[in-house]
Structure 1
Amino acid sequence: MQNINTENSHNAFHWITLYKADNNLEANIVKGLILSAGIECQIQGEMLQGALGEIPFEQTQVSVQVYAIKERHAREILVNYQQVKQSAPDWVCPNCNEHNGSTFDFCWSCETLKND
């Protein structure tokens, strides 16, 4: 997680990087959480993941961005996400045996509801 404030730091309506994700899936989970709170956000670098190996890894980084004015509220959501991610174990779908992240309520493969 890194906040990158470069030029236009005085402008509340410029995009800043809120979170650098491990992959597209994680970036979309974070984006969904932020959008559900009514905060506009975007994913940067999502299309570059397919070029991994052709271009350097650093250039294929996927990040979630929000407007600077919404950064504080979005960070609160992000802290909660990271706490849940660290405390809850990953799970295996009882229907298709697919490995799912701890933050998934449904299996990403067959959409079976997580059994707690």
Structure 2
Amino acid sequence: MKQVYTHSNLALVNRAKELLEGAEVPCKVQHEFSTFSVGEIASIDCWPELWVLNDADEQRAIEVLSIITDPAEHSQWQCPECDEKNDDSFEICWQCSHEKPA
């Protein structure tokens, strides 16, 4: 088994689990109820963790989870005119005013 995701928010870990299950990557959540130990051990050691059951699925899981682990990468577009990165909500480049590509 390999750990592929952890977060202090159990809801986010469960959302990541749903994404992996949707991609048919077998996984399980560990330390789901460890938050009750906070104070006795470091809080980061109590965070819920998402593990893939098969080591061979690790890279696939990382690719699937990139949408939540690196959201900036998925919410920007690069201007073809000046190469500036723009937030996805912008319809024109803030640097050169070129229109967002279709």
Does TM, normalized by the shorter one, top 0.5?
yes
Q: Which runs of structure 2 are paired with 1:3-82 in the superposition (5 Å)?
A: 15-66=1-52, 67-82=54-69
CA distance in 2, matches of 1:30, 1:54: 27
CA distance in 1, matches of 2:42, 2:63: 32
C-alpha root-mean-square deviation of aligned residues, in Å? 2.2
After superposition, the Cα gap between the structure-2 partners of 1:83 and 1:58, relative to the gap in structure 1 and judged at 3 Å, is closer
**1:85: Cα distance to partner?**
6.9
- Which residue identity lines up with residue 25 of structure 2 in the other structure? I
Q: TM-score scaled by structure 2?
A: 0.61
CA distance in 2, matches of 1:63, 1:75: 14
Percent identical across equivalent pairs?
A: 24
Matched pairs, number: 74
Q: Secondary structure at the match of 1:64?
A: strand
Q: Secondary structure at the match of 1:46?
A: coil
Q: TM-score scaled by structure 1?
A: 0.55
After superposition, the Cα gap between the structure-2 partners of 1:28 and 1:85, relative to the gap in structure 1 and judged at 3 Å, is farther
Larger Rg: 2
Q: Secondary structure at the match of 1:43?
A: strand
After superposition, the Cα gap between the structure-2 partners of 1:55 and 1:82, relative to the gap in structure 1 and judged at 3 Å, is closer
Relative contact order: is structure 1 or structure 2 higher (C-alpha 8 Å, sep ≥ 6)? 2
User: Any stretches of 5+ residues in structure 1 without a counterpart?
Assistant: 1-14, 89-116
